[in-house]
Structure 1
Amino acid sequence: MKKLTNLAAGLLLSCATYATSDQPFTQAVSVKYHVPAGLQLLKVITDYNDNVQVLTSQGFYRLSGNDLVRDLRFRPLAQKIPVDVTTRETSGHLYYLYADKCLTNGYAGVPYINLPLNKYNRVAVDATGRMLLSGNNALAIGNNGKLQELPLIGEGVQSMAANAGEFFILSAKAVYRFDGTKFVPLHAVNGATAMAFNDNDIILATTHGYYGINRRTGDTSLSLQVRVPVPDIRELLVVNGHIWAGTPEGAFMKTDSGTYRYFASRRWLDQDAVKSMAADSKGDVYILTATGLNKIAFIQQTLAQKAAYFERKIRERHIRYGFIANLQLNPPGDVGSAEMADTDNDGLWSSFYLGSQAFRYAVTHEPMAKRYAWEAFEAFERILSINQLTGFPSRTFERKGYKNSDPERWRDSPDPEWEWKGHTSSDEYVAYIWVAAVLHEMVAETPTEKQRVTAFIDKIMTHILDHQYTLVDIDNKPTLWARWGPEYINWYPTTIGDRRLGSTTIMAGLQLAYALTGKERYKTEAYKLINKYGYLKNIGIDYRTIKPTPGYLHMGIDMGMGDWNHSDDEMAFLTYWVLYNYAFTDELKQQYKGAIRNHWEVERPEKNALWNLITKATAGDQDTAATTWWLQTFPMDQITWTIKNSNRKDITLLPPNFRHQYTEVLLPLDELPTHRHNANAFTLDGGHGGESELAGDEFLLPYWMARYLKVLE
Structure 2
Amino acid sequence: MGFSQKTYSDKAFKQDQATKFQKTTDAALRNLAIDRNGVVQVLSSQGVLHPWEKELKPQLQYRPISDQKVLDMVAYQGQFVYLTDTAILSNAWAGKLYWEHGLENPTQLALGADFTMLVANKENLRLAKNGKVLTDIVLNAPVEKMVYDAKGARFVIATAFGVYTLGETETTLTKIYAGEGITSLAVSDKEVLVGTQSGYLTLNLDGKEASPLQAKLPWPEITSVQFIDGEKWLGSTKGAFKLRSDGKFDYYASKRWLTDDKVVAIEAGPEGSVLVLTETGLSQIDFTPMTLHDKAMHFQKVQRQRHIRYGFSSATRLQTPGDLSSAILWDTDNDGLWTSMYLAGELFRYAATKSEDAKLNAYEAFEAMERLTKISKIDGFPARTYEIDTYQSSDREPDKPEHEKIWRLTDDKRWRWKSTTSSDESCGHFFVYALFAELAPDKSWRDRAIHQLKIEMDHLIENDWYLVTWNGKPTQWGRWNPDYVNQFPINVGDRRLNSTLILSFLQTTYHFTKDKKYLKHYKKLANKFGYEENANRPASVIGFVEGQYLSSAWNHSDDEMYFLTIPGYVNYAFDEESKAKHFEAAKSHWEIERNEKNPLWNFLYAMIGGTDYDLDESIWWLKEFPMDLIDWKVENAHRKDLDKVAKNFRKQEYSEVLPRDERPMHLHNNAYRNNGGSDGQWEHPAYIYLLPYWAGRYVGAISAPEE
TM-score of the alignment, normalized to the shorter chain, above 0.5: yes
2:245 equivalent to 1:256: yes
**Conservation of the 8 A alpha-carbon contact between 1:211 and 1:222:** yes
Q: Identify the residue that residue 34 of structure 2 maps to in structure 1.
A: 46
Q: Identify the residue that residue 666 of structure 2 maps to in structure 1.
A: 675
Q: SS in structure 2 opposite 1:468?
A: coil
Picking from 415, 419, 424, the partner of 1:418 is 415
Deviation at 1:551, TM superposition (A): 4.2
Deviates more, 1:38-47 or 1:638-647: 38-47
Deviation at 1:667, TM superposition (A): 1.2
Q: Identify the residue that residue 507 of structure 2 maps to in structure 1.
A: 511
Q: Identify the residue that residue 439 of structure 2 maps to in structure 1.
A: 442
Q: Identify the residue that residue 640 of structure 2 maps to in structure 1.
A: 649
Q: 1:40–1:221: structure 2 CA closer, same or farther, 3 Å change rule?
A: closer
Q: SS in structure 2 opposite 1:128?
A: helix
**Conservation of the 8 A alpha-carbon contact between 1:31 and 1:296:** yes
Deviation at 1:215, TM superposition (A): 2.0
Partner Cα separation in structure 1 for residue 470 and residue 156 of structure 2: 78
Q: 1:517–1:285: structure 2 CA closer, same or farther, 3 Å change rule?
A: same
Q: 1:223–1:135: structure 2 CA closer, same or farther, 3 Å change rule?
A: same
**Conservation of the 8 A alpha-carbon contact between 2:43 and 2:49:** yes
Q: Identify the residue that residue 48 of structure 2 maps to in structure 1.
A: 60
Deviation at 1:154, TM superposition (A): 2.6
Deviation at 1:80, TM superposition (A): 2.6
Partner Cα separation in structure 2 for residue 481 and residue 649 of structure 1: 40
Q: Identify the residue that residue 474 of structure 1 maps to in structure 2.
A: 470
Partner Cα separation in structure 2 for residue 313 and residue 446 of structure 1: 27
Partner Cα separation in structure 1 for residue 667 and residue 488 of structure 2: 27
Q: Identify the residue that residue 402 of structure 2 maps to in structure 1.
A: none
Q: Identify the residue that residue 101 of structure 1 maps to in structure 2.
A: 87
Deviates more, 1:177-186 or 1:323-332: 177-186
2:664 equivalent to 1:692: no
Q: SS in structure 1 opposite 2:653?
A: coil
Aligned pairs for 1:599-610 within 5 A: 599-610=589-600
2:254 equivalent to 1:268: no
Partner Cα separation in structure 2 for residue 512 and residue 616 of structure 1: 18
Q: Identify the residue that residue 219 of structure 2 maps to in structure 1.
A: 230
Q: Identify the residue that residue 4 of structure 1 maps to in structure 2.
A: none
Partner Cα separation in structure 2 for residue 399 and residue 350 of structure 1: 18
Q: SS in structure 1 opposite 2:702?
A: coil
**Could you say which structure has the greater relative contact order, defined with CA pairs below 8 angstroms and 6 or more residues apart?**
2
Amino acid across the alignment from 1:103? L
Q: Identify the residue that residue 693 of structure 2 maps to in structure 1.
A: 703
Aligned pairs for 1:341-356 within 5 A: 341-356=330-345
2:359 equivalent to 1:359: no
Deviation at 1:184, TM superposition (A): 2.2
Deviates more, 1:670-679 or 1:240-249: 240-249
**Conservation of the 8 A alpha-carbon contact between 1:639 and 1:674:** yes
RMSD, aligned α-carbons? 1.7
Q: Identify the residue that residue 334 of structure 1 maps to in structure 2.
A: 323
Deviates more, 1:288-297 or 1:691-700: 288-297
Structure 2 unpaired stretches of 5+: 398-404
Partner Cα separation in structure 2 for residue 200 and residue 324 of structure 1: 53
Q: Identify the residue that residue 497 of structure 1 maps to in structure 2.
A: 493
Q: SS in structure 2 opposite 1:256?
A: coil
Q: Identify the residue that residue 624 of structure 1 maps to in structure 2.
A: 615
Q: Deviations over 1:466-507 (max 9, x none)?
A: 000111011100111111122221222111111111111111
Deviation at 1:404, TM superposition (A): 4.7
Deviation at 1:34, TM superposition (A): 4.3
Q: Identify the residue that residue 638 of structure 1 maps to in structure 2.
A: 629
Deviation at 1:338, TM superposition (A): 0.6
Picking from 269, 287, 294, the partner of 2:283 is 294
Q: Identify the residue that residue 115 of structure 1 maps to in structure 2.
A: 101
Q: SS in structure 2 opposite 1:667?
A: coil
Q: Deviations over 1:444-480 (max 9, x none)?
A: x333112211111111111110000111011100111
Q: Deviations over 1:567-618 (max 9, x none)?
A: 0000000000121222222222111110111000010110110100111121
Partner Cα separation in structure 2 for residue 616 and residue 541 of structure 1: 20
2:196 equivalent to 1:206: yes
Deviates more, 1:244-253 or 1:368-377: 244-253
**Conservation of the 8 A alpha-carbon contact between 1:662 and 1:683:** no
TM-score (norm 1): 0.94
Amino acid across the alignment from 1:231? P
**Conservation of the 8 A alpha-carbon contact between 1:387 and 1:414:** no
Amino acid across the alignment from 2:490? T
**Conservation of the 8 A alpha-carbon contact between 1:119 and 1:138:** no
Q: 1:108–1:314: structure 2 CA closer, same or farther, 3 Å change rule?
A: same
Amino acid across the alignment from 2:540? R
Partner Cα separation in structure 2 for residue 119 and residue 312 of structure 1: 53
Picking from 187, 197, 203, the partner of 1:197 is 187
Deviation at 1:65, TM superposition (A): 5.4
**Conservation of the 8 A alpha-carbon contact between 2:427 and 2:501:** yes
Q: Deviations over 1:517-557 (max 9, x none)?
A: 222211111111122222111111121121112444xxxxx
2:374 equivalent to 1:373: no
Partner Cα separation in structure 1 for residue 547 and residue 165 of structure 2: 72
Partner Cα separation in structure 2 for residue 342 and residue 657 of structure 1: 34
